[in-house]
Structure 1
């Protein structure tokens, strides 16, 4: 079993989260705008509808896990696995200056195929504690930054107020929907990260209990931080595709692999 030394503490792999509460919102955004945002990664967004990608905003209360307790906010995109449905001939002129993974030309796919194969590329991941900040960067290349994350999870509406460097990024309100029945087995998926010129795949498994979902169900107010401007350029605020809340989640994060 691999282990890593973080701030004088040994962290064994895989890293486990035993209890967390998750609220997430999925927004339809223009695929070309989303591609411009994540061009640095060399990955391609999944087009769930022609010309449409999915931007996900989520906030998490980590209540028990190997990286201690903390709050987290995430901005992520559904992406195609590297090389899925692509022409092997690379196209450097689409996004000049991107890494060697620069996006190849598409040769079909999209829709349900993209959705079934999609992974999650984590574009921005502020947290409110320093230990998880260093661990996330070191172990997986997650783009973690320190921020002020105020979560209000005890009321019927779930709310996140996110500030960075004293500036409001966003105020996000989520209304839980109807219960979602289903098995509680660990579901494997892939997360992707990019840090210091390296893109990585992170194997990630999730078990959820108390899941609820609804169409729409979110209200967002953007602030004056640069990330708020980035969200605005993606077309937010707008109606969400759907919102999901999970009252109890367990997660397992494996070793990252460079791609």
Structure 2
């Protein structure tokens, strides 16, 4: 079992999340704009339709994990596996472009173990009602206010995970597994308000806010993340 010392604590891989609520909204964006945003990674955006890529906004309440309890918000893009000739959606992974959290330990662990672009921000979650809301502020400025409407119940599922990161000039692939329960999904279902932070400006230039392709909430989520592989 691989392990690494983080802030005086030994963290073992795979890192486990035993209980979390995870909420996601997937938005269509211009593929050329998405490619411009993630060009630094060397990865290519996957096209779900000609000229259309997908930007995912994700927020999570990690209640019990190897990296403690914390809130997280993510901006990610669906990307093609490196070396793939197809620009279609098959076997895509998620390139994590921005990943603020509200606790220092998970920030340091995420950076050191996987190269995740974690940084500290103020992340307010409202998850107790059928409507799920996340408000992210960074440096005293609003980044995004995202509200997800209730969806239609879906069955529990076990899913593979593939994420890509880029940090210090190195692109990495991280694989894992996820089990979800208490799932609801619906077309659209997302209301988004952008603030005046530079990340909000970047999202606006991608074409947000617009109608989401799909919104998904999972009340009870378990995950495992393996060690990163350098590409």
- Give the SS at the match of 1:133: helix
Shift in Å at residue 176 of structure 1?
A: 2.0
TM-score in terms of structure 1 length: 0.88
Q: Are 2:12 and 1:15 aligned?
A: no
TM-score in terms of structure 2 length: 0.98
* Aligned with residue 148 of structure 1, among 118, 122, 126: 122
Q: Distance in 2 between matches of 1:190 and 1:24?
A: 16
- Give the SS at the match of 1:122: strand
Query: In the TM superposition, what are the counterparts of 1:205-216 in structure 2 within 5 Å?
Result: 205-216=177-188
Q: Are 2:141 and 1:133 aligned?
A: no
Aligned residues: 231
- Give the SS at the match of 1:117: coil
* 1:183-204: CA deviation from partner (whole Å, max 9, x where unpaired): x33x222100000100000012
Query: In the TM superposition, what are the counterparts of 1:100-115 in structure 2 within 5 Å?
Result: 109-110=86-87, 114-115=88-89
Consecutive unaligned residues in structure 2, runs of 5 or more: none
Q: Distance in 2 between matches of 1:161 and 1:3?
A: 34
CA RMSD of aligned residues (A): 0.8
* Aligned with residue 201 of structure 1, among 150, 173, 178: 173
Q: Distance in 2 between matches of 1:159 and 1:2?
A: 36
Query: In the TM superposition, what are the counterparts of 1:1-259 in structure 2 within 5 Å?
Result: 1-85=1-85, 109-110=86-87, 114-182=88-156, 184-185=157-158, 187-259=159-231
Q: Distance in 2 between matches of 1:16 and 1:189?
A: 13
- Give the SS at the match of 2:49: coil
Shift in Å at residue 46 of structure 1?
A: 0.3
* 1:147-204: CA deviation from partner (whole Å, max 9, x where unpaired): 000000011211001000000001100012001125x33x222100000100000012
- Give the SS at the match of 1:29: strand
Shift in Å at residue 219 of structure 1?
A: 0.4
Q: Distance in 2 between matches of 1:192 and 1:80?
A: 10
Larger Rg: 1
Kindly indicate whether the alpha-carbon contact (under 8 Å) linking 2:155 and 2:181 is maintained by their aligned counterparts in 1: no
- Give the SS at the match of 1:32: helix
Q: Distance in 1 between matches of 2:130 and 2:164?
A: 32
Q: Which runs of 4+ in 1 moved over 6 A?
A: none
